[in-house]
Each structure stands twice: as C-alpha cells, then as structure tokens.
Structure 1
Amino acid sequence: VAQPEIHAEHGAENAAEGFNAGEVIIEHVANSPLDHPIVHLPSIAGIDFSVTKHVLMLWIVAGIVFGTVTWATRRYLKQERPVPHGFMNAVEWLVQAIRDSIALPN
C-alpha cells in the first residue's frame, strides 16, 4: 500500500538536491571493476589486469564476431561455386566498406 506522506517527504528531500542526468548517465557507461569478480588478477609493473565491464563486453563481442565469421567462412568454402551470396556477401560488403572508408583514408 502506498503511503503518500512518505513519498511526499522523500520527494521534497530529493527536490532540494536536484536531478543530475549527467551523473546518472556517467554512472552507467563509465568503466568500473565488476561487482563480483570471478578471478582477482594482480597488478604487474603498475598495469591493472582486472576484468572491468568494458573488458568483459570486449571479450563477449570478440567471441561472437569470431564465431560468426568462422561459420560464414566454412560455409563459403563448402560451396561448389566460390561466388559469395547471402550472408557471405554481407560480410564482403562490410569488409570492403571498412577498408574503403576507414583503413585507406587514414
């Protein structure tokens, strides 16, 4: 059961502080150590090897990309005609787009 007087008091306290959207956004996107680390890795020569949110997401995305490209390449090599079509055509387009718009101009 909601108690309006408690909510009103809580709202008045927070209204004095004000809402800071930037603080909330930074809290969600800033790199920070995981709350429940599986393995505690040491610092070697001042370099912190702990797993953070960004490192974990990097590993997950790298695994997905590796698996997808490996699957598409094996499927492409099993074809009788070595002409890319379907998903492999999309992969070829993506590689060419990255090469032409990012790698070569820089």
Structure 2
Amino acid sequence: MVNNVGGMFGIFFTDAETVTCYQDVVKCDVERFKRFFHLMLEEGVYLAPSAFEAGFMSVAHSEEDIDNTIDAARRVFASCKVLECLVAQGFSRRRRIAPYSGLPNRTAL
C-alpha cells in the first residue's frame, strides 16, 4: 500500500485496507519493507531506509525518473514473489558455508 499527501509518500506492506496512524504502521511487515528497500537499492532507486520514514517526489524528478522507478518496483515485486515461493519451498537466499570448527552445530552465513 502506498499512502501519499502531495509529493510525500509512505510504502507499507500490509493486508489492511488503510494505514492512517502509528498503530497501523507498527502492524505492517517491516521485514518485507527491508527486502523491498534493499532490492530497490540494487536497482539504483534510493528510498527512505525505514518503514517509518516518508519518501518525497518533487519537480526535480523527471518523467523518466518516475518511469524508471516504477519499472524497478515491478521487477522487485516480481523477484520478491519468486523469493517468497522459494522460501516456502525451503530454499534460502543466503549462501551457506561450512561451519566454523570452533562452533559445533552452527553455520556461518
């Protein structure tokens, strides 16, 4: 869900129909926001780094900037959908390496 007032916006990952107050925001999925933020960063789009911060659009952003951001978000949402399916099937995005010999039964990530 994206809420906005003028050029200020917030991105919230929730099943709720509205997000209108702080109590609504703290119920949102912050981990999904973190994944989204980092994947957008990999796409070259710099958003506010916290689910509790607002983003801003202004006349400094061209139509091309906006189109590129929307295209990046579409790619990220598609990759998140794939990642969620893989995680549901037991796969991890993290690369596992052999355990450190001094820490039995632990895997370094």
| TM-score above 0.5 | no
TM-score normalised over the length of structure 2: 0.29
- In our comparison, the structure showing a higher alpha carbon Rg is 1
Q: Give the structure with the higher percent strand.
A: 2
